[in-house]
Structure 1
Amino acid sequence: MAKISSEELGTKPIGKLLIKQAVPASIGILVMSLNILVDTIFVGNWIGSTAIAAINVVLPVSFFIAALGMSIGIGGSSIISRALGANNAVKALKVFGNQITLTLLLTISMVIFGLIYINSIIPAFGGQGAIFEPAKIYYKIVLYGVPVLALSMMGNTVIRAEGKPKFAMYAMLIPSVGNLILDYVFINLLDLGMAGAAWATTSSYFLCLAFIVWFFLSKHSELKLNFSHLGLNKNIVSEISSLGFVTLARQAVVSITYLFMNNILFDLGGETSVTAYAIVGRMLMFALFPVFGVTQGFLPIAGYNYGAQQYNRVKKTIYTAISYAAGLATLVFILLMIFPEAITRLFTSDANVIAQTPSAMRWVFAATPIIAIQLIGAAYFQAVGKAIPALLLTLTRQGFFFIPLILILPKFYGEIGVWISFPIADVLSTIVTAFFLKREVTLKLNTNIG
């Protein structure tokens, strides 16, 4: 087999390698987040603040189905990175083929289910009162394109696992830019309202998939599939599922969180509170893009070197990633503490929303400087194929701490109890993750060095 470019993951200096992996990932996440952010600004200004709340109701449902693709992608890409590190291209190809088949089977099934029970799902996720009708319009159209989004998310992680972060970045840039252009055309020029916003989003998914298909058919990809690779293999499916379940469980908990948050906030403050949460949620996606970029860049480096048994490089990758991510998270924290009202005004002119959102934003981001430890720690266990600790640490923040907090604290403190649950969950989950990561470094990586 010819020497593959992914081998640089095991040879280049960690700092430079992490920057090379993280910068394209960060740019891709930035543009994708900007897409969501600007999309929300367009919707809020051209359709109305209720439309922002409607999209916020639909997102957890569509993203959960799309997360099937991401979970299969990340689970399989962990295997691919380690297979390439062990010079096993045959296994890498078989895993990729199984990822495609699994993604199609699962997401199409879920979309059919989602369309059948549309009138029950939307109210369950907070689509009540004036929010219901615009949410239903958006939901139906977006759901048609979710399998395409799932395939795109899966393919993007495989591109990164090959050590091709720039192409992974392009795969995120193309649909983001396309969506913004189509937003302007469908919403502003053609005046299609919520349907226009939905068709712009769905069309952008197809643009993304078209680029990803081109990449894997081109000379740039090392993974050249044939039909034999698409047949499901029990052992490979099991391995993909065990690791991918970590990502799926995380997204499931995110969707459950949206369900609770939208309903609790609707009961406490009506559409205004749901809209405030929608704006804060967009900032959670957008503002932390460099931190998520470092986490994405960390995964293939840690996985490849673990597969190659270069444990000293794995250890150095952990510490470098945490230091980079923590520095970036601190900058984000400072900016959001200073400018929350100006940020809110970008989304809406609704005086009630502007009055409520800045305080909520400050609480939600209060513990941001320390989240790098939790993100990198959970990502490490997933990168090296340790599914159980990866799952538990991934669920720690939202599953074990945040959801119980938002069910308990509002009973005593009202709406402020919802917002203070965010930093409390961040602190507790970081402490737990730091303990397990330190133990892993001491018992596994230090022991095997030399």
Structure 2
Amino acid sequence: MRGRFMTEENKMGTMPIGKLMMGMAWPAMFSMMIQALYNVIDSIFVSRISEESLTAVTLVYPIQMLLISVAVGTGVGVNSLIARRLGAKRFEEADQAASHGFRIAFINWAVFAVLGLLLARKYVSAYSDSAYIVENGSIFLMITMAFSLFVFVEVNTEKVLQATGSMLLPMLCSLSGAIINIALDPFLILGACGFPRMGVVGAAIATTIGQFISMCLGLTLLFGRKHQVTVKLKGFKFDWSTVKDIYNVGFPAMLMQSIGSVMLFFINGLLAFSGTAVAVLGTYFRLQSFIFMPVFGLNQGALPIMGYNYGARNKERLMQAYKFGIAVAAIIMTLGTILFLTFPKQLLGMFDASENMLEIGVPALRTICLCFIPAAFGILTSTIFQATGHGMLSMWQALIRQLIGIVPLAWLLLKMGGLTLVWWAWPLAEILGLLYSVIFVKKLYKNEIAFLGREDEK
């Protein structure tokens, strides 16, 4: 028996959508804003060492994104499966999904730890012949990948909690680690208050310690309280059909998340002739996280709501959540566009930008930010694809928006007009993604969503 938790009606099926979504989303939005803040602060402190240090961190950033993509993609699969099973009142299967998530986290960590220790130096050397960049970038990468267990376990813990409608507890987990990371930066990177000045290596250590704190708090909150799902530590039998169900949504979500890092592999290669251009691109991705992270937090609040109501076959609430999410995301992205168009020089100035970096970076920021508003529609449409179990639609959308569109366009525009034109690849690719989203969300509604609840009416 699950006690009172199973006799109460889940709020995801009853509470007004606007109040419900903002109540569930704001902790994740706030948490991801803090995550963006510590990434930016890390880079600001690293840039105080040298532009080469910033370039070293930028070159390994795609690998960090790939690692996070695997963790988050798996977590999205776990989240979606739990939410759908709870909505359908299949509680034992929800427990199975949560329990499998933790076993998968350990497997993913082992793979990344081994690859990081074996291949870090070869990877960085492929992008730079600077001894300083290769040395510092390699050490940074090895540290973060060797201790990536903290990330995999913490992300899975957050997704399990979110799937039950608990958004405040995951926020506390992320917030704790981010605050610790930010607090440690001046001491470990710059050597404040008598600490050794460790530069790029100090940034990696601060990040790892913050992730460890987040993981510990998450596990305490998950296992120290009662929730609608129970993670089994004993008497657990690994079931490949559950893993398949997780990755039906999780694998496309993982690919969707990792596409950004693959895109950066190629773009960094295209821009390898200019270390400053690489630094500008890395700076942009850290700055734009302030705009995209709140939308991704909104996405985290929307996913379990959509998944629950899809499982409960409640068409009206599913579509209300989708439309409300798009409206909020569009407002956030509009404000972000205004910020980047108006203050690009000031934004780059936070990273101690040189005159050459400003010359390249100001037009870059003003151009790329034109992709923000169409991205709002794409991100929330991706959420409804995932919530309804159609992860492949999300994957193809992300491929168009972040790889199939951007990389060929960037190569072509670079050949045609150099750095001035290359930045237009982002808004042009986002327009292609917008067209794809419109076509396939209409098909999803016509072929599937429109029929929800009709069986119950008969």
TM-score (normalised: structure 2):
0.93
The residue number in structure 2 matching 1:298 is 302
Gaps in structure 1 of 5+ consecutive residues: none
Q: 1:86 aligns with which of 76, 88, 91?
A: 88
The residue number in structure 2 matching 1:261 is 267
Determine whether 1:214 maps to 2:220.
Answer: yes
For residue 133 of structure 1, report the CA deviation from its aligned partner. 2.0
Q: Structure 2: which amino acid aligns with 1:39? A: D
Tell me the distance in 1 between the aligned counterparts of 2:43 and 2:120: 23
Q: 1:10 aligns with which of 1, 9, 13?
A: 13
Determine whether 1:195 maps to 2:198.
Answer: no
Whether the aligned pair in 2 keeps the contact of 1:287 and 1:332 (CA below 8 Å) is yes
The residue number in structure 1 matching 2:50 is 48
**How high is the sequence identity, in percent, across the aligned residues?**
26
Please identify, of 229-238 and 253-262, the stretch whose mean Cα deviation from structure 2 is larger: 229-238
For residue 152 of structure 1, report the CA deviation from its aligned partner. 1.2
Tell me the distance in 2 between the aligned counterparts of 1:42 and 1:91: 46
The structure carrying a bigger helix percent of its residues is: 1
Tell me the distance in 2 between the aligned counterparts of 1:180 and 1:351: 28
Tell me the distance in 1 between the aligned counterparts of 2:231 and 2:370: 47
For residue 148 of structure 1, report the CA deviation from its aligned partner. 1.3
Q: 1:136 aligns with which of 128, 135, 138?
A: 138
Tell me the distance in 1 between the aligned counterparts of 2:263 and 2:95: 36
Whether the aligned pair in 2 keeps the contact of 1:370 and 1:430 (CA below 8 Å) is yes
> Alpha carbons of 1:128 and 1:215: their partners in 2 closer, same or farther (altered >3 Å)?
farther
Determine whether 1:438 maps to 2:442.
Answer: yes
Whether the aligned pair in 1 keeps the contact of 2:291 and 2:332 (CA below 8 Å) is no
The residue number in structure 2 matching 1:160 is 162
The residue number in structure 2 matching 1:413 is 417
> Alpha carbons of 1:66 and 1:291: their partners in 2 closer, same or farther (altered >3 Å)?
closer
Tell me the distance in 1 between the aligned counterparts of 2:164 and 2:235: 17
Whether the aligned pair in 2 keeps the contact of 1:6 and 1:163 (CA below 8 Å) is no
SS in 1 for 2:370: coil
Tell me the distance in 2 between the aligned counterparts of 1:74 and 1:6: 24
Tell me the distance in 2 between the aligned counterparts of 1:425 and 1:230: 45
After superposition, residues 358-373 of structure 1 pair within 5 angstroms as: 358-373=362-377
Tell me the distance in 1 between the aligned counterparts of 2:236 and 2:258: 27
Query: Which 4+ runs in 1 deviate beyond 4 A?
Result: none
* CA distances 1:44-71 after superposition (whole Å, capped 9, x unpaired): 12x1222111111112213312322211
SS in 2 for 1:118: helix
The residue number in structure 2 matching 1:236 is 242
Q: Structure 2: which amino acid aligns with 1:155? A: T
Q: Structure 1: which amino acid aligns with 2:245? A: E
For residue 127 of structure 1, report the CA deviation from its aligned partner. 4.0
Q: Structure 1: which amino acid aligns with 2:54? A: I
After superposition, residues 28-43 of structure 1 pair within 5 angstroms as: 28-43=31-46
> Alpha carbons of 1:214 and 1:257: their partners in 2 closer, same or farther (altered >3 Å)?
same
Please identify, of 218-227 and 246-255, the stretch whose mean Cα deviation from structure 2 is larger: 218-227
Q: Structure 2: which amino acid aligns with 1:217? A: F
The residue number in structure 1 matching 2:108 is 106
SS in 2 for 1:266: coil
Q: Number of residue pairs matched?
A: 446
After superposition, residues 280-429 of structure 1 pair within 5 angstroms as: 280-429=284-433
Gaps in structure 2 of 5+ consecutive residues: none
Whether the aligned pair in 2 keeps the contact of 1:144 and 1:202 (CA below 8 Å) is no
Tell me the distance in 2 between the aligned counterparts of 1:127 and 1:257: 18
Whether the aligned pair in 2 keeps the contact of 1:156 and 1:212 (CA below 8 Å) is yes
